[in-house]
Amino acid sequence: MRVLKVVEGTSVDGPKLRTSIYLAGCSHACPGCHNPQSWDPAGGEEMSEDELMRVIAYNEAPVTFSGGDPLFQAGAVASLAARIKRELGYNIWCYTGYTWEHIVQQPQLMELMKSIDVLVDGPFVMAERDLDILFRGSRNQRLINVPETMKHGQVVLFEPQVKI
């Protein structure tokens, strides 16, 4: 996997302290993106699933996939996410510029969704930017409860239980 960086003990990419893995590659090119250096699919460094699992297990914290767009490496991320669930049982969040409606049309992307607890979907839209919403940059982006969405066949939003 091409990894830009692993941030240990962050609280900005979901509730509680988390291990965030920023993956290389994104073609959404959202104007105003806070991380345009992540767009290059050859950026960062190659890290194996085993290397990432060691870091994740060491931190004993929930995991967030961000980037770039983790769905640009969907197969490798799906494998890692399934292993995290199977071996560690951790909560997993994933940020993507794709919408849920696009993802459900792509079987290879849905494989990853089987291990995701919350999906933050949609591109960053500068005109929708809002500094007062939790865990996303623009109002068009949704926090989707993936297991409940898959169970009910329609988008079920995740409601953060975070006190401000």
The length of the chain is 164
pLDDT at 23 (0 to 100): 97
pLDDT at 160 (0 to 100): 82
pLDDT at 123 (0 to 100): 96
Distances (CA, A) of 66 to 19, 74, 151, 163: 11, 12, 24, 23
Instruction: Answer for the pair 100, 149: CB distance below 8 angstroms, yes or no.
Output: yes
pLDDT at 119 (0 to 100): 98
For residue 83, what are its two tokens? 């292993």
Is the pTM higher than 0.85? The answer reads yes
Instruction: Answer for the pair 1, 47: CB distance below 8 angstroms, yes or no.
Output: yes
pLDDT at 156 (0 to 100): 97
The dihedral over CA atoms of 20, 21, 25, 27, expressed in degrees to the nearest 10, equals: -20
For residue 68, what are its two tokens? 């770039």
Domain 2-152 has CATH 3.20.20.70: yes
Instruction: Answer for the pair 108, 75: CB distance below 8 angstroms, yes or no.
Output: yes
Rounded to whole angstroms, the Cα distance separating 13 from 95 reads 9
pLDDT at 163 (0 to 100): 59
Sort strands 142-145 and 118-121 into parallel, antiparallel or unpaired: antiparallel
pLDDT at 31 (0 to 100): 85
Distances (CA, A) of 119 to 46, 110, 146, 153: 24, 12, 6, 15
pLDDT at 154 (0 to 100): 96
Which residues neighbour 116 within 8 Å (Cβ) at sequence distance 6 or greater?
81, 92, 93, 94, 146
Q: pLDDT per position in the chain (164 positions), as tens?
A: 999 999 999 999 999 999 999 999 999 988 888 888 888 999 999 999 999 999 999 999 999 999 999 999 999 999 999 999 999 999 999 999 999 999 999 999 999 999 999 999 999 999 999 999 999 999 999 999 999 999 999 999 998 876 55
The domain segmentation of the chain, as residue ranges, is 2-152
